[in-house]
Every structure is written in structure tokens, then in C-alpha cells.
Chain A
Amino acid sequence: MPYDSIVCVKQVPDTANITAEAMKEDGTVNRAALPAIFNPEDLHALEAALEIRDLYGGTVTAVSMGPPKAADVLRECLYRGADRVILLTDRRAAASDTLATSYILCQAIRTIGRFDFVFCGRQAIDGDTAQVGPQCAEKLGITQITYLEQLVHLDGQVVQVRRNVGHGWEIVEAKLPVLITVIQSANKPRPAAAKRVMRYKRARAEAELLAELQRERPEASNEELQEQLGRRAAELKSRGLLIEQWDLDDIHADLSRCGLAGSPTKVLRVQAIVLTKEGYTEIPATEEGIRQLVRELVVDRTLG
């Protein structure tokens, strides 16, 4: 039987590979200078959904919450095989903590409607919290299965999953629908398909079209921009290249549960880590130097 999956994906700054360009003079990281990438574990979540569709039929819908630029990861989803993608973008969603984010995603999932699976990456590399998946599951009122390693069995409305429990694994069985968070060892994400890249590389969300228009015609009036935007969007839509875009009204979100207002946790202060080079004893990479180091470690009783 066919299964419908929804995948939550996020565009994140590549915090794992700090480039020299992103390193400021004072030894802190300029976050804005980091390249934006597809959150690594979300690629595995997408792959898990695509594998189910390839085996059993059904659909894969990817949804991403973020600024207009987050449409990049949605195009990537299209390249790799997603059937439908939705950009969830709204300034009023800014500064959402994990609780508010999960509420917004949950409203989007409800708006999409029918589903058998929701897949999320275990965590995003900008915050590393791993909270949004379980919080979405709670809000949807469905079973959560974290740390998917392998889909063992799927038959009718029952799924068996092997999940990593840190120092081992367990196989659990649950009735659909379920929300599953996925870790890197679960699968090997397929690359983008060249044909799909050719087909979807011009796919755009309205927010992107507007930004493009504003760049092209900085002097245009608002009416002119809106009129142009409507024309371009309609043209893309007729070719199946308009990325669906929703705001908080489209998903009937209660604004008191979104953004700063909906976030119980507040960032009080942020302190940049300063990397210094000073403060250590340099040992020459010679036999004598290293012998001296070992002697010192013995003398101060570090080595017994």
C-alpha cells in the first residue's frame, strides 16, 4: 500500500566547517559569513521518506521553515525526488525557540493534512538541540521514534524500526502515523538527479521572486512590483515551478504561540568563543624535545 510522508528540513549555517573567511580578527566566528547548507541529518530524513515511496508508492512532501533563502534546500529536495515542497516563511516566526518552532511546523503538517510518516533529522547543527522532532510529535499527538537506524518492516499500518539507543539498539513496533527522527547511519542519501536538476533549477518561491524583482527594478513602485510578481508567479505555476509558500495565517497559527511571544526560553546573552594562540609551552618536534616533555610529565606526577 502507498504511504504519504512529510519531511521537515532546515537550512543551517555550516558550523562544522569554519572557513578562514568566517574567522574575525578578534578570534570569533562571523556567523553571517558561514555558507548555508542543507542540515546534514535532514538529508537522511529525506532519503528515508524517498526509500519508502520508491518501495511502496505514495508521496513525499518536504516543508522548511525559514527565510526566503531556505527555498534552496527545498529545490535540493526536488532534485533528489520530493513530490511537493512548501516554504514556510513569515517574519513573525523569527526568534522562535524549539517550542514555538515545533508548534509552527505542527500547524503546517496539519494543513498539509493526510500523512503516515513525518521524518525529521535528529538535530540541526546550528542548535544541536534535537528537540523539535519530539515536540512536533507531542503536538500532533502521535508516537515518536527517535534515532532511526533502519526501517525493519512495514506492513499495512504497522512499522518496525531499529533505533539506536546509544550503547546498542532496539527494534520497536508502532502503529502509523508516527514521527521518526533519523541519524546519519540510517542510509546513504541519494545524489541529485541530473534530469530533475534541469527541470527544477528554475523553481522559485514568491518571496524569492519578489527579492529578484526588487534587485532588478529598485525604482519600481509597490503596485508595479506586485503586478510583475503576480505575472511571474503565474507563469512559473503554469510550468509547475512555483514553490508553494505559506505564512502563519495560511496555517491558522495562533500568533501568541509563535516567534518571541511563543518562546518560553530567551537568550539572555551570547558570548563569542575567542580563540587564542598563547598560553602553551611549545615543544620542539625532536627526540630531545619530546624526551624532555615526558620527563616533565613524570616530575609533576601526571605520568605515574
Chain B
Amino acid sequence: MIEPNRQGEVWVFAEQEDGSLHDVALELCGKARELADRLGVKMAAVLPGWKVEELASRLTAQGADKVYLVDDPRLAHFQTATYARVLCTLIDRHRPQIVIYGATPLGRDLAPRVASAMRAGMTADCTDLQIGDVTDPRTKVLHRNLLLQIRPAFGGNIIATIVNYERWPQMATVREGVMPLLPADHSRRGDVIREHVELDEALLALKLIKRHVEPRRVNLKGARVIVAGGGGVGSRENFRLIHELAGVVGGAVGASRAAVDSGYIGKEHQIGQTGTTVRPALYIAVGISGAVQHRAGMEESAKIVAINTDPNAPIFSVAHYGIVGDLSKVVPMMIKALKERK
């Protein structure tokens, strides 16, 4: 850990893979910029990789004042130990007050390793980050300008606000899609600072044998309309109705965890706390009861239509329009009504 450093910068871990930045890194730059402005400090991105220098300008355009570039062939492929060494070394060297990471599979592998090595705090999967003054209820000491790390817990049935008084940096991961991607400003200028980090052979403990990366076929985040099915759809066959409705309305197909776990559709369609977070213009939830984990991933949608047989289903608590009825009757009616519109 490092001592609280009120002049410390706000950092974003710039996750990249094969030379392209992960969306979440760009999204987080916007939030980090806001936090840094509030604190009156600089915002920086940490960019480890190999031949990734050209990515720095994109981070600058999203709000970074500085980009700490660690360019090393041994960082070409992500390994927990090497990347954790980079983060720990730079944190010790520059003493930032806040470090945020995307809550991607990679971020969730890396961030806790860094926190453990630094003996600092780490809060997973935040849905909001704010700055606020907090009085420690035990010691009655007032701490100014702490990072309020807000996240759902307990299966999403509670929202907890977490703080880290003194074992800094204050660190958190944030899910993809939670923070809006701000428009890039290509006129912004920032400093690229080359950093050297000692990486001994012992850190290269993993050998990559084979890698298979599927292109992201499902563009849930970019969809204007999403039709999502849940456990209530009942079978893979019935899920065809969801695809059909999505086809008619020109939308993407989403799913709740229950539908994915039941094998009705692939995991890449999952929306919610452990899937993609979306905010389309229209979200049609079919046979989704609406566990908080799911709602956390879609409640920001501009319009929500819920179809469910159970009038008490929690999904109705976030819906703008609710239809209580059997989806095998309601969805065909909706398909018909939409076709008539054209």
C-alpha cells in the first residue's frame, strides 16, 4: 500500500489485446477524467504491451493528460505476473490516489493480484464511482475527497458503498458498458511517458500453447433495440420466438442468465451483472423475472417493455410498459402488430 496522497493522479488501466484497446478502457477514461477534475489532479492511463505506442493518442482523446507506456516484448501477451509487476512498480513510483480497471476477465484476473501485492483495497464490479467526504464512524476522523465505490452485492439485493480510508491507492474494477463512452476529442494533447519496468524471467511462468478468440458476433452494446428472453421462455425451441421478434423489430437478441444457464442461447447474449450492460432505446424483456443482477444490466434502457405471466415479477419494477400474459400468445401478437406497422 501507499500512504494517502491527495495530489496523486487518477489512473485507468488501459487494457489492450493484440494491439487494440478494449472499449471499457476508453469508457473509464471519461469517468476518470471527471474524478480527476473534481479532485483537481491529472488523469493518466497506464498502457502496458508491445508495439502499442500508437494507442496512446486514443487515450488522450478520451481525456488522459498522460499515458504511461510500458512497451516490452515480454508484455505482448497478457500474463498476470508481468502485468501485475508493471502496475505495482508504477504505483510505487508515482503514487496515484485512484486506479480503476475494467471488470473484464483480464481485469478481474489482474486487479486483485495487484491489490494483494500492494496490500491495498480493491472493490470489484462497481456500478458508480463518486467523490465525497466521509467521517469514519469508528474513529470519527473526517476524510475529505474519498472515492465512493458503489456496487451491488448479495446477488444484487443490496447496493453497498465501499471506501478505503488509508491503505491506498483506492482501486476498483468497473464493468464494461456501465460508464458511457464520451465523444473523443482529437484536439486534446497529452504526454506519453515511457516507463521502464524490470521484468525478470521468473515472472514469465505461463507458456501460451494455443489461443482461440472468437470475433464478437453479438453487438448488444451497439443495438438500438434489444429483445431479451429469460427462463420463462421455457425451451430452446420457444426461444425462436425471441429471435423472430428481434428480427421484425430490427433488434439484437439478449438473454438473462437463467436462459443462458438453461442452454437456450449462448453466453455472449447474456445481459446483466455477469454479462453485458446495455442501454438501448428499447428493451423488450420476455419471460424474464428480473433478478437484480439482470436489472443492473438493462435498467438504464430508455424504454422497457416487460412481458411476464407473473404480475409480481420484479422486472415490472423497472418497466415502462408491462404486459401480464403468456409469452407464447403475446409475442406472436406483437410480431403481427409490428409487421402491420410497415
Q: A-side interface residues toward B, CB under 8 Å?
A: 13, 15-16, 18, 28-29, 31, 97-99, 102, 125-135, 137-139, 143-147, 160, 164-175, 184, 263-273, 275-277, 279-287, 289-291, 293-295, 297-298, 300, 302-304
Contacts and interface: CB of A to CB of B under 8 A. Distances in A.
B12 interface: no
A150 to B, nearest CB: 12
Contacts of A291: 337, 340
Contacts of B134: 268
Interface in B299-342: 302-303, 305-306, 311-312, 314, 316-317, 319-326, 329-330, 333-334, 336-338, 340-341
B121 A99 contact: yes
Contacts of B337: 287, 290-291, 293-294
Given A18-B155, A295-B341, 18 more contacts: A15-B156, A99-B116, A128-B125, A133-B112, A135-B112, A137-B113, A138-B113, A165-B213, A167-B213, A168-B213, A173-B206, A264-B1, A264-B121, A264-B167, A267-B162, A272-B157, A293-B321, A293-B323
A259 B209 CA distance: 40
B106 A165 contact: yes
A128 B159 contact: no
Contacts of B329: 285
Interface in B197-233: 205-216, 224-225
A124 to B, nearest CB: 10
A15 B154 contact: yes
**A97, A102, A294 interface centre (most CB from chain B within 10 Å):** A294
7 contacts: A29-B157, A128-B273, A130-B108, A133-B112, A166-B106, A267-B162, A281-B320
Chain B interface, >50% SS class: mixed
Given A265-B163, A277-B312, A290-B330, A18 B157 contact: yes
A270 B149 CA distance: 12
A115 B126 CA distance: 35
Contacts of B57: none
Nearest to B225: A303
Nearest to B319: A280
B179 interface: no
Q: Considering the complex of A and B, which 3 residue pairs feature the smallest CB-CB distances, nearest first? A: A15-B155, A285-B325, A264-B121
Contacts of A139: 116
Given A280-B321, A303-B282, A266 B165 contact: yes
B89 interface: no
Contact of A144 (B109, B314, B338): B109
B122 A302 contact: no
A132 B113 CA distance: 9
Interface of B: 1, 80-81, 84, 104-106, 108-113, 115-117, 119-125, 134, 136, 148-149, 152-167, 205-216, 224-225, 249-250, 261, 268, 273-274, 281-282, 291-292, 302-303, 305-306, 311-312, 314, 316-317, 319-326, 329-330, 333-334, 336-338, 340-341
Contacts of A167: 213-216, 268
Given A282-B324, A294-B338, A268 B162 contact: yes
Contacts of B155: 15-16, 18, 125-126, 128
A171 B281 contact: no
**B106, B156, B329, B333 interface centre (most CB from chain A within 10 Å):** B333
Contacts of B326: 285
B154 A102 contact: no
A165 B105 contact: yes
Contacts of B152: 273
A85 B306 CA distance: 47
B207 A173 contact: yes
Nearest to B258: A16
Contact of A28 (B153, B157, B305): B157
Contact of B105 (A146, A171, A294): A146
Nearest to A257: B119
A219 to B, nearest CB: 37
A277 B163 CA distance: 32
Contacts of B209: 160, 170-173
A125 B166 CA distance: 28
A127 B162 CA distance: 13
B318 to A, nearest CB: 8
A171 B211 CA distance: 6
Contacts of B208: 170-173
B80 A144 contact: yes
